[in-house]
């Protein structure tokens, strides 16, 4: 039997096109994953009903909208997410300090924690250069992470490859949420900066986002349980 704390650190993305498909995944895997992530595709299709469905299963909801707008709009959207009762909400660190501070103030006193997206795990150094960001991904992540935490954001979304650098730079306080997690031998898909669960936890990750290696497995329940047991073995629960 896996521990509750280990289960609560596994985030399963509901990257599906409709509420019925999401409900099927939630029903199948709510005993294995403590957090379900509602992203742009599902929220565009189903809206707040997707969040409600996660809550009906007794699970925490991670609303992954990556807000990036003017301060007033971001603050209003963050406040609306807090009313929905989401546990985590993403904003883009690149929105700037004013918008980040406004968003943090909007959810103050609620149970919603804001997570700043730094550099997407689908981007490597060449792609960063193509959009005009100089330096390595780690340098860009560290710069944006400092900006976000200084603005009062609770946590960060980063790849496992930046976890150690962020812990050294920012200490133990920020919540580090790491997508691009791939068990040893799994396909990388469109992720460029990946790691195994054990590697990510050793470098300071708090929550692990694991999608396709679970959803596309022949036995999704067994795949999820294997990752939660790996979290336990890492000794970081």
pLDDT of residue 1: 36
Q: Which H or E run includes 63?
A: strand 60-67
Question: In a 3-state reduction of DSSP, which class is residue 1?
Answer: coil
pLDDT of residue 29: 97
Question: Are 114 and 151 contacting, i.e. CB atoms less than 8 angstroms apart?
Answer: no
Question: Are 82 and 88 contacting, i.e. CB atoms less than 8 angstroms apart?
Answer: no
Where are the domains positioned within the chain?
Answer: 4-231
Cα 83 from chain centre: 20
DSSP structure class, residue 193: S
Among 37, 66, 72, 173, the one annotated catalytic: 66
Whole-prediction pTM value? 0.90
Spatial separation of the C-alpha atoms in residues 207 and 205, rounded to whole Å:
6
Q: Residue 72 is encoded by which pair of tokens?
A: 């007033």
Question: Are 86 and 114 contacting, i.e. CB atoms less than 8 angstroms apart?
Answer: no
- Annotated catalytic, 173? no
Tens of pLDDT along the chain (237 residues) come to 345 589 999 999 999 999 999 999 999 999 999 999 999 999 999 999 999 999 999 999 999 999 999 999 999 999 999 999 999 999 999 999 999 999 999 999 999 999 999 988 778 889 999 988 878 888 888 999 999 999 999 999 988 888 999 999 999 999 999 998 977 545 545 444 457 899 999 999 999 999 999 999 999 999 999 999 999 988 644
Q: Select from 3.40.50.300, 3.40.50.2300, 3.20.20.70, 3.40.50.1360 the CATH code of 4-231.
A: 3.20.20.70
Spatial separation of the C-alpha atoms in residues 107 and 74, rounded to whole Å:
11
Helix locations, the chain, DSSP H: 4-7, 19-29, 40-46, 48-56, 71-84, 97-106, 125-130, 137-150, 160-170, 197-202, 212-215, 220-233
The per-residue b/e assignment along 45-76, b for 16 or more CB within 10 angstroms, e otherwise, is ebeeebbebbeeeebbbbbbbbbbeebeebbe
């Amino acid at each position: 039997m896996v521990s509750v704390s280990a289960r609560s650190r596994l985030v399963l993305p509901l990257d599906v096109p409709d509420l019925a498909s999401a409900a099927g995944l939630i029903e199948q895997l709510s005993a294995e994953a403590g957090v379900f992530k509602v992203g742009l595709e599902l929220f565009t299709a189903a809206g707040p009903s997707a969040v409600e469905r996660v809550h009906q299963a007794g699970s925490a909801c991670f609303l992954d909208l990556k807000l990036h707008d003017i301060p007033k709009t971001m603050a209003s959207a963050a406040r609306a997410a807090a009313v929905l009762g989401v546990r985590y909400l993403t904003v883009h660190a690149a929105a700037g300090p004013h918008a980040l501070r406004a968003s943090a103030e909007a959810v103050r006193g609620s149970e919603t924690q804001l997570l700043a997206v730094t550099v997407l795990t689908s981007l490597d150094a060449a792609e960063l250069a193509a959009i005009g960001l100089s330096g390595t991904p780690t340098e860009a992540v560290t710069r944006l992470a400092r900006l976000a935490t200084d603005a009062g954001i609770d946590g960060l979304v980063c790849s496992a490859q930046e976890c150690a650098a962020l812990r050294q730079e920012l200490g133990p306080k920020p919540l580090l949420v790491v997508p691009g997690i791939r068990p040893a031998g799994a396909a990388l898909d469109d992720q460029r900066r990946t790691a195994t669960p054990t590697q990510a936890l050793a470098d300071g990750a708090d929550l692990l986002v694991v999608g396709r290696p679970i959803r596309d497995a022949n036995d999704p329940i067994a795949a999820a349980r294997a990752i939660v047991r790996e979290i336990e073995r890492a000794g970081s629960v």
